[in-house]
């Protein structure tokens, strides 16, 4: 992946459909000495509140729930009051660090203040495959806390086989029992990967398609949709879980945690495959806001960042929701922590890591990109897919 050329036109196109989100009321919040952290629930492990994370970091955290929409986040931080409200924040996918850094909404990080940076996966070091996902203009602007290569969930109890291709989503035998995500980013990228690698369409870069390529991918999906191939386009974590757990859907492109929770809920053998054509790879990162630095919250931020790069966090996010750890040494850690991880959990962790390595090694993988050059074409054609 090469560093994204981010520009104002892309910013305005992404922000165009969203209103500025409302600020949080009251002065007590603004004056709190706790690290004001704008983040989703997936950024924590341990208790359902943030108490376990606070204990590990040795700081107070005032967590504010964050939506999954990149446009809302960008507006809040660039033209809204985000820097007055938040000391630190997570992103919503590939490219947000570029957008926020280009607008001086976040600040450069000093990784020497993060002891566990020494254990970060090599792909994040300079020259690594994911190095640019945490940098802007060569400067480290973020630290990664989770990642994955999104794939296909399938009900093995019913199918009785191990699909290794996106073809099953478009195969007539699963007509009306297939589902895609209701999000143009992953759905168009993974469909483009499939069409490119199978030679069905000429696509240069599935992560950053031309207007003509976007049109071709969306027309393919529109044709499939009109034929009744898809049961639905799932929208939201619980919706994705329920569709698989109820057997309403047998194959679905989805996040790995959806597959894991659906299997737990239903008791069915719902698995997550490796697609030979490739996958959309992504990571989520944590950033220090300009306002956070101005308010003197750097020490607290670096303590939290150190937790995110610890094997303590990596093992638990992998065991709980199946996200890829961002540091080395997780297997060794769980082998030593026998009281925290029983034999079944240790085996599950090793299996998940092995399958993740398989997915990450597929040549057709493409990085997530929430700021494609022709973002307006993505938005316009996705609206046509939705309306078909």
Please give the residue range of the domain that contains residue 272: 149-279+365-387
- The number of helix segments (H) and strand segments (E) in the chain equals 18, 12
> Measured between alpha carbons, how far is 381 from 19 in angstroms, rounded to an integer?
21
Q: Global pTM? A: 0.88
In a domain, 125, yes or no: yes
CATH of the domain at 116: 3.40.190.10
- pLDDT at 11 (0 to 100): 56
Which bin fits 127, alpha (ψ -120 to 50), beta or left (φ > 0)?
A: left
- pLDDT at 313 (0 to 100): 98
In a domain, 115, yes or no: yes
In a domain, 344, yes or no: no
- pLDDT at 95 (0 to 100): 85
The residues near 338 (Cβ < 8 Å, ≥ 6 apart) are: 346
Same domain for 383 and 252, yes or no, is: yes
Q: What digits encode the pLDDT tens for the residues 25-80?
A: 333 444 468 999 999 999 999 999 999 999 999 999 999 999 777 788 888 999 99
Same domain for 268 and 296, yes or no, is: no
Q: With beta carbons less than 8 A apart as the criterion, state whether 68 and 1 touch.
A: no
Q: What digits encode the pLDDT tens for the residues 139-181?
A: 999 999 999 999 999 999 999 999 999 999 999 999 999 999 9
Report helix, strand or coil for 146. Answer: strand
Q: What is the percent of the chain where pLDDT is above 70?
A: 92
| Residue 165, both tokens | 């291709």
Percent of residues in the chain assigned helix, strand, coil, to nearest 5: 45, 15, 35
- pLDDT at 339 (0 to 100): 94
Instruction: Give CA angle at 123 (89, 321), nearest 5°.
Output: 55
| Residue 241, both tokens | 């879980």
> Measured between alpha carbons, how far is 309 from 320 in angstroms, rounded to an integer?
17
- pLDDT at 29 (0 to 100): 45
The count of structural domains within the chain is 2
Taking each helix axis from N to C terminus, what angle separates 375-387 and 8-15, rounded to the nearest 10 degrees? Answer: 20
Residues of the chain falling short of pLDDT 50: 1-3, 17-31
Same domain for 42 and 121, yes or no, is: yes
In a domain, 354, yes or no: no
Same domain for 288 and 239, yes or no, is: no
> Measured between alpha carbons, how far is 274 from 163 in angstroms, rounded to an integer?
8
């Amino acid at each position: 992946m090469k560093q994204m050329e981010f520009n104002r036109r892309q910013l305005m196109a992404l922000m165009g459909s969203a209103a500025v989100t409302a600020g949080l009321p009251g002065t007590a919040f603004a004056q709190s000495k706790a690290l004001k952290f704008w983040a989703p629930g997936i950024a924590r492990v341990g208790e359902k509140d943030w108490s376990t994370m606070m204990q590990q970091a040795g700081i107070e955290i005032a967590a504010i729930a964050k939506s999954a929409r990149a446009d809302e986040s960008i507006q809040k931080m660039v033209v809204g009051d985000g820097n007055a409200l938040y000391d630190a924040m997570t992103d919503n996918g590939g490219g947000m660090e570029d957008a926020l850094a280009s607008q001086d909404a976040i600040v450069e990080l000093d990784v020497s203040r993060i002891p566990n940076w020494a254990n970060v996966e090599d792909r994040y070091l300079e020259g690594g495959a994911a190095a640019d996902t945490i940098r802007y203009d060569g400067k480290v602007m973020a630290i990664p806390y989770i990642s994955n290569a999104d794939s296909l969930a399938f009900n093995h109890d019913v199918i009785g086989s191990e699909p290794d291709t996106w073809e099953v989503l478009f195969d007539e035998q699963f007509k009306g029992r297939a589902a895609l995500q209701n999000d143009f980013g992953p759905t168009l990228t993974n469909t483009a990967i499939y069409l490119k690698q199978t030679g069905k369409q000429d696509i240069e870069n599935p992560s950053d398609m031309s207007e003509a390529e976007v049109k071709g991918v969306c027309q393919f999906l529109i044709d499939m949709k009109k034929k009744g191939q898809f049961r639905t386009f799932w929208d939201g974590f619980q919706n994705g879980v329920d569709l698989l757990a109820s057997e309403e859907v047998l194959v679905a492109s989805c996040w790995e945690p959806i597959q894991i929770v659906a299997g737990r809920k239903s008791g069915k053998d719902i698995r997550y495959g490796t697609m030979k054509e490739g996958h959309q790879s992504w990571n989520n990162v944590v950033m220090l806001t300009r306002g956070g630095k101005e308010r003197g919250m750097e020490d607290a931020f670096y303590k939290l960042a150190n937790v995110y790069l610890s094997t303590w966090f990596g093992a638990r996010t992998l065991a709980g929701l199946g996200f890829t750890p961002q540091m080395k040494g997780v297997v060794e850690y769980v082998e030593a922590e026998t009281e925290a991880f029983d034999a079944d959990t240790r085996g599950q962790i090793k299996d998940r890591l092995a399958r993740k390595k398989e997915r990450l090694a597929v040549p057709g993988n493409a990085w997530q990109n929430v700021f494609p050059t022709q973002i307006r074409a993505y938005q316009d054609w996705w609206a046509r897919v939705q309306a078909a």
